[in-house]
C-alpha cells in the first residue's frame, strides 16, 4: 500500500472553512502553503458536516488503484446527513475506484507498506461476514497483511489513527498509553511487537486529548502536528518531532475546535500520491 511517506498532495473538505473550524482551516492551509505543498479542496464538500475526509474518501493502494469502502459506521447510522455523496467527489477528481461493500472508515487504516494496522472494530462493523474471510478480503483489496489491534474503549469510533502511526523502516509510534492504560499498552506492545519496533509517547500525565497529537497529517517528508492550546502542546510536539528525525515537523495552531468534535488533522485531510489530479479552484483564502 501507498504510505504517507510517498504522498505529495493534500485535499481538504470545503466545509472545513465553516465556523467553528475556520481558524483550523486557515492554520492548516497556511502551513501547507509555507512548505510549498500542493493542496486542493474536495468537490461537493461544502457542508460543515463533511469535514472528516479521511474516513469517507477511498484508500490509495498504488498509484492507480483506489479502494472505496462502505462509509456506514455504527455511530452515524442515525445521522445520514453526515454522509456525503462520495461518487460525485470521485467524478470531480477524475479517479477510478474499486467499490467494496465492507464497512471500513479510512481512519482505521494505517498503511505501513506491506502491512496495514487496523483495530478489531472492523469485526463489529462487518459482523455478518466470517472473520477469516473478512481479513482475507481486506488483505486482497489492500495488497497487504492485516495487523489487528484491540479497539481503544475510550474512543467510540474504533479508529487506529489516534492510537498508532507508521514511522517507516519497520517502526511504529503509539500513544502515551503508558501514562493511563497499562493494560491496553501491554496488548499493543505484544501484538505490534511481532511485526514492528514499537516506540512510545510518554507525557507523564493523562489528558483526554492525547490522541489528537498523534492524529497529525503526514505527507511526504512533512508532519503537520495539531496544537490544542494546552500545556502539553510543546511536549507532544517535541516527542513526535524527535520520533521522525527524517521529517520536517510543523506545528499547526488552532486545532482545538476539530479536536472537540473527535478528530484532528489526519481526520480532516486526505493525502495521496498525485496522479495528475486537477482539483477545483481553491476557495479557502489565506489570512
CATH number, domain containing residue 221: 3.75.10.10
Residue 163: which of 225, 200, 211 has the closest Cα? 211
284 belongs to a structural domain: no
Can you tell me the distance from the alpha carbon of 47 to that of 142, in angstroms, rounded to the nearest whole number?
Answer: 30
Residue 39 is placed in which grid cell?
Answer: 493542496
Q: What is the full per-residue pLDDT of the chain (287 aa) written as tens digits? A: 999 999 999 999 999 999 999 999 999 999 999 999 999 999 999 999 999 999 999 999 999 999 999 999 999 999 999 999 998 888 888 888 999 999 999 999 999 999 999 999 999 999 999 999 999 999 999 999 999 999 998 888 999 999 999 999 999 999 999 999 999 999 999 999 999 999 999 999 988 999 999 999 999 999 999 999 999 999 999 999 999 999 999 999 999 999 999 999 999 999 999 865 444 445 544 43
Residue 282 is placed in which grid cell?
Answer: 481553491
287 belongs to a structural domain: no
The residues pairing with 165 across neighbouring beta strands, listed in sequence order, are 173
279 belongs to a structural domain: no
Q: What is the largest CA-CA distance in the chain?
A: 51
83, 51 in Cβ contact below 8 A? no
Can you tell me the distance from the alpha carbon of 181 to that of 144, in angstroms, rounded to the nearest whole number?
Answer: 29
Domains in the chain, number = 1
What does the pLDDT look like over 56-103, one tens digit per residue?
A: 999 999 999 999 999 999 999 999 999 999 988 888 888 889 999 999
Phi-psi region at 153: left, alpha or beta (left = phi > 0; alpha = psi -120 to 50): alpha
164-168 and 171-174 beta bridge pairing: antiparallel
277 belongs to a structural domain: no
**Which range marks the domain in which residue 108 is found?**
4-272
228 belongs to a structural domain: yes
233 belongs to a structural domain: yes
Q: How far apart are the first and last CA of the chain?
A: 36
pTM for the structure as a whole: 0.94
Residue 259: which of 24, 75, 18 has the closest Cα? 24
Can you tell me the distance from the alpha carbon of 214 to that of 237, in angstroms, rounded to the nearest whole number?
Answer: 9
234 belongs to a structural domain: yes
Amino acid at each position: 500500500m501507498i504510505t504517507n511517506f510517498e504522498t505529495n498532495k493534500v485535499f481538504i473538505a470545503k466545509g472545513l472553512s465553516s465556523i467553528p473550524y475556520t481558524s483550523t482551516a486557515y492554520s492548516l492551509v497556511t502551513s501547507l502553503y509555507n512548505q510549498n505543498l500542493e493542496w486542493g479542496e474536495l468537490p461537493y464538500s461544502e457542508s460543515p458536516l463533511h469535514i472528516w475526509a479521511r474516513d469517507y474518501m477511498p484508500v490509495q493502494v498504488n498509484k492507480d488503484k483506489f479502494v472505496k469502502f462502505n462509509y456506514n459506521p455504527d455511530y452515524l447510522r442515525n445521522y445520514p446527513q453526515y454522509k456525503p455523496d462520495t461518487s460525485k467527489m470521485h467524478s470531480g477528481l477524475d479517479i477510478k475506484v474499486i467499490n467494496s461493500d465492507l464497512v471500513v472508515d479510512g481512519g482505521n487504516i494505517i498503511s505501513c507498506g506491506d502491512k496495514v494496522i487496523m483495530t478489531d472494530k472492523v469485526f463489529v462493523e462487518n459482523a455478518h461476514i466470517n472473520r477469516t474471510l473478512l481479513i482475507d478480503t481486506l488483505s486482497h483489496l489492500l495488497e497487504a497483511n492485516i495487523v489487528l489491534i484491540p479497539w481503544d474503549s475510550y474512543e467510540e469510533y474504533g479508529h487506529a489513527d489516534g492510537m498508532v502511526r507508521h514511522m517507516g523502516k519497520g517502526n511504529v509510534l503509539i500513544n502515551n498509553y503508558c501514562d493511563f492504560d497499562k493494560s491496553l499498552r501491554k496488548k499493543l506492545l505484544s501484538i505490534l511487537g511481532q511485526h514492528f519496533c514499537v516506540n512510545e509517547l510518554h507525557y507523564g500525565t493523562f489528558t483526554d486529548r492525547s490522541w489528537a497529537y498523534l492524529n497529525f497529517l503526514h505527507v511526504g517528508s512533512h508532519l503537520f502536528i495539531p496544537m490544542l492550546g494546552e500545556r502539553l502542546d510543546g511536549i507532544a510536539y517535541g516527542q513526535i518531532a524527535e520520533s521522525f528525525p527524517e521529517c520536517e515537523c510543523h506545528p499547526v495552531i488552532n486545532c482545538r475546535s476539530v479536536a472537540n468534535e473527535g478528530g484532528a488533522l489526519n481526520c480532516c485531510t486526505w493525502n495521496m500520491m498525485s496522479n495528475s489530479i486537477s482539483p477545483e479552484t481553491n476557495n479557502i483564502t489565506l489570512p
